[in-house]
Amino acid sequence: MNRNISLSIVLLLAAVAAQAQVVSFINLPDNAARMALGGTDVSYDVSRLQERGYYGSAEATYFVWEPSMHAGGSVGRYMADGYARLGENFGISARGRISNVRSLSYMDDSGKPGVGFKSAEFMAGVGMHYRPFNNISVLARVDLISSNLAANFAAKAVAADLGVAYDFNDLSVALTVRNLGSKLKYAQTASEALPTVVLLGGEYIFGAGRHIIDISADAGFMPQQKCALAKLGVRLSLFGVADIMAGYHYGSNSQLEPSYATAGLGAEISFFRLSAAYVIAGKSSPMKNTMAFTLGARF
């Protein structure tokens, strides 16, 4: 896929949703490299079977999330991802995420402290990758979500991701719908829909030698929140062992996902891959200084 074709993606922007998204951690990119590429991951996620250079992978990611908003240090988010090609046209994947594991201070309605409480959110899922035709790949995945925000406020949900990708030479285009599923109900009187998102993404690779440039872009729409988002990433791979990455995430600064720029580095030594991402955001943005680190292996 050594093409010197650039792909321009028209980004459709919509009004910012009226509400933030519940269990938003399930929409984070799978690893630090994708975070460094502005979060672009649609084609990467759906068209794994098109990449023939390995039979499986496993990686673990740690996010240093919004350190400027936590005086006592950042609140970590942990992810693990595994993938295995089981044949020429079939593969499976599994993933898990842990977020918001922290102790919080209880305060009553008058500001009187009480006994503290803990929050924790989890997600675990399995996916099936299938290539019915040479240029087409599909993905189906199911995730189980558990969100325990406080004592007596916990909810569970099941989410499904569906995606299809088309690969043509060095271009990959994918369409995916994520987080179709049941609602979360924390309180007796309200239930909240999962942050369903429809994403269209593409990735194009320039060059076929020792150095390549990989450009990826996603555009999406969140029906419940009625807001749009867009992501753009560029990766320069040098000698096949080092990556320099940059990206931009465009979102709603007020209610959905904020806009920020990203930068990252990656290294590949034998089976192992190490990547890091750093979020560059405005001075007042909570996202500033957010970082992610991934250690993985391909085999």
192 binds another protein (CB under 8 A): yes
- Residues 140 and 122: their CA atoms lie apart, in Å, by 20
Interacting residues of 103 by C-beta distance below 8 A, sequence separation 6+: 116, 117, 118
- Nearest of 143, 35, 141, 148 to residue 101 by alpha carbon: 148
Is residue 165 within 8 Å of 174, Cβ to Cβ? yes
Instruction: Quote the Cα angle for 261-230-131, to 5°.
Output: 115
113 binds another protein (CB under 8 A): yes
30 vs 66, which CB is nearer to another protein? 66
289 binds another protein (CB under 8 A): no
76 vs 207, which CB is nearer to another protein? 76
Cα 287–chain centre separation: 15
Q: Which pair of structure tokens corresponds to residue 166?
A: 């088309």
Give me the least distance between CB of 147 and another protein, in Å please: 8
Q: Tell me which of 6, 8, 105, 134 binds another protein, using CB under 8 A.
A: 105
Q: Tell me which of 6, 110, 134, 270 binds another protein, using CB under 8 A.
A: 110
187 vs 267, which CB is nearer to another protein? 187
37 binds another protein (CB under 8 A): no
H/E element, 246: strand 242-250
Chain residues that interact with another protein, rule: CB under 8 A: 18-25, 27, 65-66, 68-71, 75, 100, 102, 104-113, 117, 119, 147, 149-150, 153, 155, 184, 186-187, 189-190, 192, 251-258, 260, 284-287, 290
